[in-house]
Amino acid sequence: MTNLLMAAATKTRKVKTNAKLVVAYVRVSTDEQKLSPQAQTVELERFAARNGLTIAATFQDTGVSGAAELAECPGLTAAIGEVQKLRAGGLLVLRLDRLARDTKKASLVELLLDKAGAKLLTVDGTNQDDPFAQMARMFQTWMAQQERHLIRERTKSALRQLARENKRVSRIAPYGFSFQDGQVVPNETEQKGLQLMLQLATQGMKPTAIANELTSAGFLSRTGKKFDAATVYRVVQRHQKAGEA
């Protein structure tokens, strides 16, 4: 990691690279079952085949958040190092949020690639060099960062509101939370399902579709059954109302 930062600080000089040689990178956090490393790798290989690219190596970070610092992403650090070592023409990712959900981190990675004479390539096509494409990349990263911030703040606000309303009015805590010594505290197991539920709701997905996504991702309700639209609606509505209070 220290070597990478030193590389970013050095003066830019022309580096001859192989435009047809790329290094692939995949990332999945613990709550993203549908974006498995295997699924991402398949899409990256298809993209490379369509565009006449050769993937020299594939690196991955599993169970790592997109908001994690570059130093906390050993797979990404190794991928950038491999790009520099092989003088590859680019670093290939599925989409920008696989690289980072933080504008500072994304900018640092692009700077390191630029120093190596390489480009950032994405399967969804936001990899052009023109100013408009660069603006689009920055906007997408910023939106992902804001989405994470919004969900985090809503969760904190909801927890505060629940604590203000009662320490234990009901025998059953809201989904995503538990009672501990009369206090409302986050339930780590349910929080993963709750975060996915709220994220999909924030994106405008309907309760029925959210229930299907939760089932596909392996999440079950407290009764051990599949989520239904009514349950999803109640959980989202209660959480949003508490977050707005």
pLDDT digits (tens, 9 = 90+) for 86-99: 999 999 999 888 88
Average pLDDT across the chain, whole number: 78
Q: How do residues 176-215 score in pLDDT, each as one tens digit?
A: 878 776 676 788 888 888 888 888 888 788 889 898 888 8
User: Which residues on neighbouring strands pair with residue 29, listed in sequence order?
Assistant: none
pLDDT of residue 167: 46
DSSP of 149-207 = HHHHHHHHHHHHHHHHH-SSSSSSPPTTEEEETTEEEE-HHHHHHHHHHHHHHHTT--H
Q: Residue 113: which residues within 8 A CB-CB, separation 6 or more?
A: 80, 83, 90, 91, 119, 120
Residue 11 has pLDDT above 70, yes or no: no
CA proximity to 22, closest of 77, 90, 120, 73: 90
Q: How do residues 125-157 score in pLDDT, each as one tens digit?
A: 755 555 545 555 555 555 555 565 666 666 666
Q: Report how far residue 147's alpha carbon sits from residue 89's, in angstroms, rounded to the nearest whole number.
A: 31
- CATH numbers and ranges of domains, the chain: 2-127 (3.40.50.1390), 139-244 (3.90.1750)
Dig out the tokens for 189 from the structure: 């197991």
What average pLDDT does range 55-70 have in this prediction? 88
The rounded Cα 12 to chain-centroid distance in angstroms is 30
* Better-predicted residue by pLDDT, 43 or 160: 43
Q: What percent of the chain has pLDDT above 70? A: 69
Q: How do residues 72-85 score in pLDDT, each as one tens digit?
A: 899 999 999 999 99
